[in-house]
């Protein structure tokens, strides 16, 4: 089941859970073995041997959740995505829904019944890598603030009466993601056909929560542009071309003289100092 984007809110018809920054997966138990499958149908079982004890759960169980790796107690998507095979940090399966129990589908039952069944399974069958996703009823704004304080990705709101609509984005689940922002200098762009750009190449010397330093390339931004902004940028990007990049950049781009600045929102900084999931928010006009 998929979620739509939203803003923090309170509602007595919703349950609010932390949004975990990891790999979405289903954990299916049968014949004393567990199989982990991603949302796109990729088998992840062999990649995360630390989750093998899930095989001790009752047969016929299928859980929906997130494979999460922790660095210093905080979920790290970079760690679970690129170091899953060799990570020494804790890897957990954080369950937030139950799809099958004793080989019987629970997907047509309301969320409240599925949540109660999930809590009962976890309480009666403790398993070291299995964790129940934390959540509260009604007070979504407070949980969102707590998620931000703890460095989590955000929260997900789930309508209490909703059934499980596999593969659907019907509005019953709403994800509210924590975003940070930074002001950057546009150092170039990647061209695409038709005198248009595919993405902006940006640099910065100050990331929120960190200290200023030398100007460094921090990523490419390819979303968040309206048609009007795209037209304006296409003109500005070609006014002052430059022969080489202002700072070291691994991309093969077209370069511009410094003078164009914009605000970019992003999910987090990777260990390599790159923006994760950057979105263009607006030009900064002098």
- Which positions are annotated as active-site residues? 19
Helices (H), 47-110: 77-82
The closest of 96, 80, 89, 77 to 21, measured between CA atoms, is 77
Q: What are phi and psi of 49, to 5 degrees?
A: -60, -25
DSSP-assigned beta bridge partners for residue 137: 15
Are 133 and 94 in contact by the 8 Å Cβ rule? The answer is yes
Are 75 and 153 in contact by the 8 Å Cβ rule? The answer is yes
Task: Categorise residue 125: left if φ over 0, alpha if ψ from -120 to 50, beta otherwise.
Answer: beta
Q: What are phi and psi of 124, to 5 degrees?
A: -90, -10
Q: Tell me the CB-side half-sphere exposure of residue 7, using CA atoms within 13 A.
A: 0
Contacts of 34 (CB under 8 A, 6+ apart): 27, 28, 45, 51, 52, 54, 55, 57
Please compute Rg for the chain using Cα positions.
22
Local structure of 115: helix, strand or coil: helix
Structure tokens at 112: 């409240």
DSSP-assigned beta bridge partners for residue 264: 182, 280
DSSP assignment letter at 43: B
Between CA 119 and CA 98 the distance in angstroms is: 9
Number of helices (H), then strands (E), belonging to the chain: the values are 4, 21
């Amino acid at each position: 089941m998929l979620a739509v984007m939203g803003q923090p809110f309170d509602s007595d018809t919703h349950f609010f859970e932390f949004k975990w920054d990891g790999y979405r997966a289903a954990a299916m138990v049968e014949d004393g073995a567990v199989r982990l499958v991603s949302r796109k149908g990729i088998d992840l079982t062999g990649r995360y041997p630390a989750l093998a004890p899930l095989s001790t759960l009752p047969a016929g169980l299928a859980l929906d959740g997130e494979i999460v790796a922790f660095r210093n107690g905080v979920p790290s998507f970079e760690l679970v995505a690129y170091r899953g095979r060799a990570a020494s940090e804790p890897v957990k399966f954080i369950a937030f829904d139950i799809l099958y129990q004793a080989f019987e589908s629970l997907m047509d039952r309301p969320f409240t019944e599925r949540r109660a069944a999930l809590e009962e399974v976890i309480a009666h069958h403790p398993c070291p890598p299995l964790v129940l996703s934390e959540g509260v009823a009604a007070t979504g704004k407070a949980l969102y603030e707590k998620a931000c304080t703890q460095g989590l990705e955000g929260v997900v709101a789930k309508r209490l009466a909703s059934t499980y609509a596999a593969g659907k984005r019907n509005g019953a689940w709403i994800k509210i993601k924590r975003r940070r922002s930074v002001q950057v200098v546009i150092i170039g762009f990647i061209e695409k056909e038709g005198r248009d750009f595919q993405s902006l190449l940006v640099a910065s010397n100050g990331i929120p929560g960190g200290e200023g330093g030398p100007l460094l390339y921090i990523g490419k931004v390819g979303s968040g542009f309206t048609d009007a902004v795209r037209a304006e940028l296409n003109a500005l990007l070609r006014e002052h071309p430059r022969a080489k990049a202002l700072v070291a950049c691994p991309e093969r781009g077209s370069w511009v003289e410094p003078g164009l600045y914009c605000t970019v929102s992003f999910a987090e900084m990777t260990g390599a100092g790159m923006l994760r999931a950057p979105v263009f928010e607006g030009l900064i006009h002098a």
